[in-house]
Amino acid sequence: MTVVSLETYAENTWCPGCGDFGILAAAKAAIQELVREGTPLENIVILSGIGCHGKIVDYINVNSFYSLHGRVLPAATGIKMANPELTVIGFAGDGDAYGEGVEHFVFSAKRNTDIVLVVHNNMVYGLTTGQYTPTSPKGYQGKSTPKGSPEEPMNPIALALASGATFVARGYAANKKHLIWLIKEAVKHRGFALVDVLQPCVTFYNTFPYFSKHVYDLQEEGHDTSDFMAAMEKAREWNHRLEGRVPIGIFYKVEKPTFEEELLKGRRPRQMPYIDTVSHVLKQHI
């Protein structure tokens, strides 16, 4: 079987060596494998927020919705509920998903919408030149916090779990094979799937040396992905300080009814006919 080409003519403008290249490569490979395994290419939709990460939609030749900063998830939810047959994969920044649009993050997890969210977590606002984000460690010095960030970082893995996400994982942009596997697992999972990806920003916060030495694979070491408390414990093992070991892999995975199933109750929005009269309703108003 031939591999579908996903190239576009858009010029890639990421800094050489950026962790985003690893996510792009893994995303393309995952999409190609999904297509090879039977998902029609036209049924795949990707979205992105605004930031360096957002450019990914210009670099993959597939249906795409380049959204606003922080607004990947409600748009993805709208797409999925209007056409549940689509495979919907969102790409967002850490500033995007955990800052500007965090309410949608909490609610998408709570609803269990059947979409995938890949977060390019570089712990900085890349495109706006390196300010601290919700996941920057306390004391991080960027242009908006020259005296050091006064805040503790947010723990998105723990937040996703607490919000009700049914698939919670972390990848590393430099572990391409592992990331392809995670994205595919996330797509196959029915429900809201978070793949938070450690994505070093070589220009503003080069974390490659640290992560390459300190990540370890949860699945290799053995972890019960159906145990919520164990997942929470693993989530809290590391929180964005460049200290200690960093678990990657699937933290948690359970089955629950999805938002679309509960909302649509078997209705197929794109196939429902237009009504040809409202007279039956008008009668109730007499």
Ligand X SMILES: Cc1ncc(C[n+]2csc(CCOP(=O)(O)OP(=O)(O)O)c2C)c(N)n1
- Per CB under 6 A, residues contacting ligand X are 49-53, 69, 93-96, 120, 122, 124-128, 133
- Closest CB to ligand SF4 among 186 and 201? 201
Is 56 a binder of ligand SF4 (CB under 6 A)? no
Q: What is the DSSP letter of 92?
A: E
Is 20 a binder of Mg ion (CB under 5 A)? no
| DSSP state letters, 192-257 | -EEEEEE--BTTTB--HHHHHHHEEEHHHH---TT-HHHHHHHHTT--SSS-S-EEEEEEEE----
Q: Which amino acid is at 270?
A: R
Is 198 a binder of another protein (CB under 8 A)? no
Is 94 a binder of Mg ion (CB under 5 A)? yes
- Which entry of ligand X, ligand SF4, Mg ion, none binds 69, CB below 5 to 8 A by partner kind? ligand X
- Closest CB to ligand SF4 among 17 and 40? 17
Minimum distance from residue 37 beta carbon to another protein (Å)? 18
Q: For residues 150 and 177, give the distance between their C-alpha atoms in angstroms, rounded to a whole number.
A: 37
Minimum distance from residue 100 beta carbon to another protein (Å)? 10
Q: For residues 235 and 219, give the distance between their C-alpha atoms in angstroms, rounded to a whole number.
A: 14
- Which entry of ligand X, Mg ion, another protein, none binds 185, CB below 5 to 8 A by partner kind? none
Beta bridge partners of 120: 93, 197
Which of 28, 53, 55, 240 forms a contact with another protein (CB under 8 A)?
A: 55
Query: What is the Cβ-side half-sphere exposure of residue 75, based on CA atoms within 13 angstroms?
Result: 21
Which string of x and - marks every residue 4-23 that binds another protein (by CB under 8 A)?
----xxx-------------
Is 19 a binder of Mg ion (CB under 5 A)? no
Query: What is the Cβ-side half-sphere exposure of residue 5, based on CA atoms within 13 angstroms?
Result: 3
Is 262 a binder of another protein (CB under 8 A)? no
- Which entry of another protein, ligand SF4, Mg ion, none binds 109, CB below 5 to 8 A by partner kind? none
Return the range that interacts with another protein (CB under 8 A); candidates 152-160, 196-204, 237-245, 270-278.
270-278
Is 52 a binder of ligand SF4 (CB under 6 A)? yes
Is 6 a binder of ligand SF4 (CB under 6 A)? no
Q: What is the DSSP letter of 150?
A: -
Return the number of other C-beta atoms located less than 10 Å from residue 275's C-beta.
8
Report 111-130 residues binding ligand SF4 (CB under 6 A). 122, 126
Q: For residues 85 and 15, give the distance between their C-alpha atoms in angstroms, rounded to a whole number.
A: 36
User: What 3-state class would DSSP assign to 61?
Assistant: coil
Q: How far is CA 206 from CA 36, 56, 269, in A?
A: 35, 20, 46
Is 242 a binder of another protein (CB under 8 A)? no
Which of 98, 172, 204, 259 forms a contact with ligand SF4 (CB under 6 A)?
A: 204
User: What 3-state class would DSSP assign to 272?
Assistant: coil
| Site residues for ligand SF4 per CB under 6 A | 14-15, 18, 20, 52, 122, 126, 201-204
